[in-house]
Amino acid sequence: MGVQFGIIGCGNISRFHFEGIEKCGGAVALIVDVNRAAAEPWVNRTGAKFSNDYRKVMEDPEVQVVSILTGAKSHKEMCLAAIEAGKHVVCEKTMTNSVEEGFEVVQASRKKGLFFTAFMKRFFPAVDKMKELLPDIGTVFQGTVRTFQQWGNFYAGEGLGDFSAVVDTYGGAVLKCAGSHMLDLIAYLMGRPDSVYCHIDYVPETRFDRKVSAVFSYKRGTSVLFEAAAHPLKKIGYERNSWDEFFEITGTDGRLTLYTVKWDVPEGNAPLLLYYDNRTEAVTEFRFDPVNPFDLEIAAIAEAVREGKQLGPGVIDGFNVDAMISSMEESHRQGRMVLIDYMGIQG
């Protein structure tokens, strides 16, 4: 029998988890949502039990892995309950709503099952290749990261429309929903930064962050320029479909540039990786077959559960992003550079 999952939350992201579980031979034992109508199609498709109480997942002996796919405001409570119940955990980004909440989850998770934070961009083959090639570009001294996503025109007095509930549900807008994946890649590819100077542009009279600009710095002298923005432009970016996201790392011997693809239609195209080798002055393009990184992520998690081995991104990776975001917000409030507070967590 395949790995048995319990799913909490049947919003937009859930279909990728359900389909990934199905494709890797796993099973769904129990589905939880406060809205039965949202869960009904998946209950019918999987044959799973249904409840509107997330605690039932923790009590169900059939459930090996609890997948927490709700908004971040409820993540800490659900993560702690799943850990206490002895379940393995998959938590969608962001892991929690603050560095303090993240610290609690890290402390609770120690030596109590496996914990996976769902930063699916790590599972693109192009990201694997980028990680592999990093030693070839020499001493890294600069990174540039952008994630611009078409949400709407929040710069000309228009309302938030369908995005009005985003902050209450996820604890933030473009920084947490769009930027968190790229923050994870910064820590994964370049290591945890030591300090940050950040400016956050909010829609006036709201807590809705529409644009974020930051400089991350490392004690070794490396820096990373980071931008995240909601925008109304329809034909910009690598695929000319509004999705404008890339990660560029420059070293003394070369440069790596990654262009990603739109998150909800990843099978249509594949990320593009460019490798410039300064020794030969040649540029190599790495083009991969299109894949769904969610499928690769869920399959890897299921295998890790079967083997009892921790796979990254784990709880520390989720915490690192929570810490980076909290320090970005603190930098904006203070109007100056701040040291990123990892609260003594090694990682």
Fold (CATH) for 4-120+294-312: Rossmann fold (3.40.50)
Alpha-carbon gap, residue 168 to 207, rounded angstroms: 9
Q: What are phi and psi of 238, to 5 degrees?
A: -55, -45
Parallel, antiparallel, or unpaired for β 338-339 and 49-51? unpaired
In 3D space, the residue among 340, 334, 332 whose CA is nearest the CA of residue 201 turns out to be 332
C-alpha 94/C-alpha 102 separation (Å) is: 10
Q: Six-digit token pair at 164?
A: 């009005």
State which CATH number among 3.10.20.740, 3.10.150.10, 3.30.360.10, 3.40.50.300 fits the domain covering 122-288+326-339.
3.30.360.10
Contact assessment for residue 298 and residue 20, using Cβ atoms and an 8 Å cutoff: yes
At residue 218's C-alpha, the angle toward residues 214 and 223, to 5°, is 45
pLDDT at 135: 98
Buried b (16+ CB within 10 A) or exposed e, 214-243: bbbbbeeebbbebbbbbbeeeeebbbebbb
pTM for this predicted structure: 0.97
Taking the C-alpha atoms of residue 344 and residue 103, their distance in angstroms, rounded to an integer, is 9
Q: Say whether 122-288+326-339 and 4-120+294-312 share the same fold.
A: no
Tell me how far apart the 2 most distant CA atoms of the chain are, in Å.
60
Residue by residue, DSSP assigns 194-211 as: SEEEEEEEEPTTSS-EEE
pLDDT given at position 321: 98
The three-state secondary structure class of 332 is helix
CA distance 3 to 121: 23
Alpha helical stretches, state H, the chain: 14-23, 36-46, 55-59, 75-84, 99-109, 125-133, 166-170, 180-190, 293-307, 315-334
Supply 13's token pair: 């992201």
Rounded-to-integer distance, Cα 217 and Cα 195, Å: 5
CA nearest to 26, candidates 62, 54, 2: 2
Structure tokens at 161: 């429309």
Name residues whose C-beta falls within 8 Å of residue 46's C-beta, 6 or more positions apart in sequence: 18, 22, 27, 28, 31
Domain boundaries, the chain: 4-120+294-312, 122-288+326-339
Give, for all 347 residues of the chain, the pLDDT tens digit.
Answer: 699 999 999 999 999 999 999 999 999 999 999 999 999 999 999 999 999 999 999 999 999 999 999 999 999 999 999 999 999 999 999 999 999 999 999 999 987 889 999 999 999 999 999 999 999 999 999 999 999 999 999 998 878 998 999 999 999 999 999 999 999 999 999 999 999 999 999 999 999 999 999 999 999 999 999 999 999 999 999 999 999 999 999 999 999 999 999 999 988 899 999 999 999 999 999 999 999 999 999 999 999 999 999 999 999 999 999 999 999 999 999 999 999 999 999 98
